[in-house]
Structure 1
Amino acid sequence: MERICLDCGHLVKGRSDKKFCNDACRNNHNNKVKSDDNAVLKKINTILKKNRSILAHFNPVGKVKISRKKLAAAGFNFDYHTYTFSSQNGSAYTFCYEYGYLILTSEEFLLVKREEDMWLS
């Protein structure tokens, strides 16, 4: 029974379960298959990095109040974040890596930066 390489279409010789004619074809095929997943991850990570950069830019001192309009005008995407944190008093902080925010009102936010020692505990 003739087998054909899944990547280039050439005849495959060797073991009966072999799918590719050589390592280059195997790598090329697997890279094509995974490229769609990588594109999605790259797009999301780009958004997260931009959000982090915006939060860092507006919060050089550790805590600052800012309007929703100002964040939105800078290109902040409120749909993407890395995690949320609930404080002991029930406040829900949304973080993009070590920078985050607390919604004070529908139009006002408190920007915060998580300290390094908090990451270790």
Structure 2
Amino acid sequence: MRIYKECRHCNKELRGRTDKKFCDPQCKSAYQYQIEKQNPERFYNKVDNQLKLNRKLLKEYNRGGKVTIRCNILWELGFNQNFFTHSWKNQKGDIYFFVYEYGFLKITESKIEKYVLVIWQDYMIKNYNLKI
């Protein structure tokens, strides 16, 4: 009696070595990706989740195009200023950090830390050296 094994990813019948687990390298890679994707501790997932949260909060609190908000409000909701996608420097030398199209600049007014929230504008491309 012959025992047939199946590919762990696509369930196709395996041919060849008796210890074979996958029908080809693509199935092996796809299987490993699925397993790792379920692991919440994956570095990529942590970064991606934080960027999504940061963008959501910046979008939610910046309904006017340019808004100032106390830092602790966003921090309490899980905002982490160390996660951003790019930065932009204005003519004054202030560096805005962006999470995709939503940006923030940390300032201090009357000893209170605040963020100035902005939305990416077309004129910023000139100073950004971005080729679109």
**Which TM-score applies when normalising by structure 2?**
0.64
Which residue identity is paired with 1:114?
A: W
Q: CA deviation at 1:40?
A: 2.7
Q: Quick one: percent identity of the two aligned structures? A: 31
Offset, 1:22? 2.2
The count of aligned residue pairs is: 108
Q: SS of the residue aligned with 2:104?
A: strand
C-alpha deviation, 1:85, in angstroms:
1.0
**CA RMSD between the two structures:** 3.2
* Per-residue CA distance 1:60-100 (angstroms, 9 max, x = gap): 01001111111111211122111111112110101111101
Match of 1:22 in 2: 23
CA contact (8 A) 1:11 1:21 kept: no
Name the CA shift for 1:22/1:32 in 2 (closer, same or farther; >3 Å). closer
**Equivalent residue for 1:3?**
none
Q: Where in structure 1 do 4 or more consecutive aligned residues deviate above 6 Å?
A: none
Partner residue of 2:70 out of 67, 87, 108: 67
Instruction: List gaps (5 residues or longer) in structure 1.
Output: 1-6, 14-18
Q: 2:48 matched to 1:45?
A: yes
Q: In the alignment, which residue of structure 2 is the partner of 1:16? A: none
Could you tell me which residue of structure 2 aligns to residue 12 of structure 1?
A: 17
**1:112 corresponds to which residue?**
118
Q: Which deviates more, 89-98 or 26-35?
A: 26-35
Question: TM-score if structure 1 supplies the norm length?
Answer: 0.69
Counterpart of 1:103 in structure 2 is 106
- CA offsets 1:2-61 (integer angstroms, 9 cap, x no match): xxxxx88x8529xxxxx87623xx344223544548943233111101100000111001
Post-superposition CA distance 1:89-114 (Å, at most 9, x none): 11010111110111111611111111
| Contact 1:94–1:102, Cα closer than 8 Å, also in 2 | yes
- Whole-angstrom CA distance in 2 between matches of 1:116 and 1:46: 27
